Amino acid sequence: MLGTFSSVKQYLKFDISRVVIDNIVFKLHYRWTFVLLLVATLLITSRQYIGEHIQCISDNVVAPVINTFCFFTPTFTVVRHLNNTALDSGSIFQPGIGPYNREEDVIKRHAYYQWVPFVLFRQALCFYLPHALWKKLEGGRVKALVYGLRMVGLTKYLKNDSMRIGKLNIPSMAEVEDRVINIRRTMIDRMRLNQSWGAHLVFAELLNLLNLCLQIYWTNRFLGREFLTLGVKVLRERWVDKMDALDVVFPKVTKCTFYKYGSAGSLQEHDTLCVMALNIMNEKIYTILWFWYSFLLVVTVLGLLWRLFTLIFYHNVTFTKCALYWAKPGKMDESDLKSIIEKCNFSNWMFLFFLRTNLSEFLFQKVIYHLASEFPNDPIHDNDINDYRARERELPSGSTGKYPLLGGLDTVDAPLLHHRGAGPVLATPKSPTDGATLPI
């Protein structure tokens, strides 16, 4: 049994180092629903759990022939025999099975069982498509920055030398100094250039809702318009009546008519009974799917309401602090956070949200700290140290540039913001053994 489902175990792995670019509602669509539908497909196509999908009884007809014929052509039940009264009186032994008049009686044909595995697999792909589209539109931007910042965070445990552990390369403090500048500048460039990033995420989340509604609609059509009320009827009738909605939609015994020519050339009609072992699995799969789709629909709508709240209140500092704390608990500097979100649009805010989801408290505080230097509250004291540092690297050897003492600045841990209430200051040594501050 474990070997049967080994093909889907890769989708159930939980990797704590994986970069998160969506929320739990999104995962319910492309991971949990996708896996649920794949498992259902494997169960339907595996004969080891239910044996032959159909077994028919008929006189003077070879069993494999009648089984194959009745599986490929629709079987049927008689509508007037789908009632509990006849079952209670003993007039019929199975719902929908009994004598019928070809000219007068209405019959209910069942042909869906031939297509169940194909429909389930197609639905699994449909639930994965919005995620694949979002990954394409997102372009790996969060992953590129998060991986660089994670390596920087490990550097605080090293001194002067870098370290390599397998494929993991932890840079030294000297390497980090240049890397932080590049990462910070890259982050700012991405936030300014990718203004449609948040719109793409909202589009993918709306696509999840649209896809879910379409799958519910097509499943209802596929099951003869019986799916929408299936779960309610099962809860109401399952343990009360002998015949419930599952017996009507997924009959266990059906009728099949087979024709063949006799030895004298006359046409012979064979009325057969077929045991539908496949419907034992079908009824359970679609009952579970009804409850799962109902739950998923509610959660998806709530997720979109949350996205609407973020779109309306993302400029509010209190709301942002609560949202970022929900993404991952940790302390944040409110003044730094305020200076950033006042300059951010919705795409920038969502970008910060997912950075907070993927980074530790230590690293995210540094991100907020450095980003605040790019978006100061007071434009008169705009901190452009990072720009000058990048320019001075391009100056000829021996040139000091505008900030001759900038070479002593620790760009990882030194303050880049203006001092609280005293204007911006730059930490720099007066002598090799002492320290002082130089006003900017």
User: With bands split at pLDDT 50, 70 and 90, how would you rate the model's confidence at 81?
Assistant: confident
Most confident of 97-111, 159-173, 218-232: 218-232
pLDDT at 182: 62
Which residues does residue 260 pair with via DSSP β-bridges, in sequence order? 268
Higher pLDDT, 183 or 276: 276
Rounded to 5 degrees, φ, ψ at 301 are: -65, -40
d(Cα 296, Cα 37) in Å, to the nearest integer? 14
Mean pLDDT over residues 327-336, rounded? 80
Residue 261: band (very low, low, confident or very high) from pLDDT cuts 50, 70, 90: confident
8 A C-beta contact, residue 184 and residue 386: yes
pLDDT given for residue 211 in this prediction: 97
Which long-range contacts does 172-177 make (Cβ < 8 Å, 24+ apart)?
Answer: 173/412, 176/152, 176/412, 177/410, 177/411, 177/412
Residue 126's pLDDT band, with cuts at 50, 70 and 90, is very high
Q: Cβ atoms within 10 A of the Cβ of 143, count?
A: 17
pTM here?
Answer: 0.75
Nearest to 413 by CA among 180, 160, 150, 171: 180
Least confident segment among 154-158, 265-269, 326-330? 154-158
Span 376-383, mean pLDDT? 47
Mean pLDDT of 329-347: 82
Share of the chain above pLDDT 90, in %: 23
Confidence check: pLDDT of 173 > 60: no
Cβ atoms of 252 and 243 within 8 Å: the answer is: no
Structure tokens that stand for 356 in this block: 């907070």
Give the model's pLDDT for residue 151: 57
pLDDT at position 79 is 86
| Contact in structure between 271 and 245 (CB atoms under 8 Å) | no
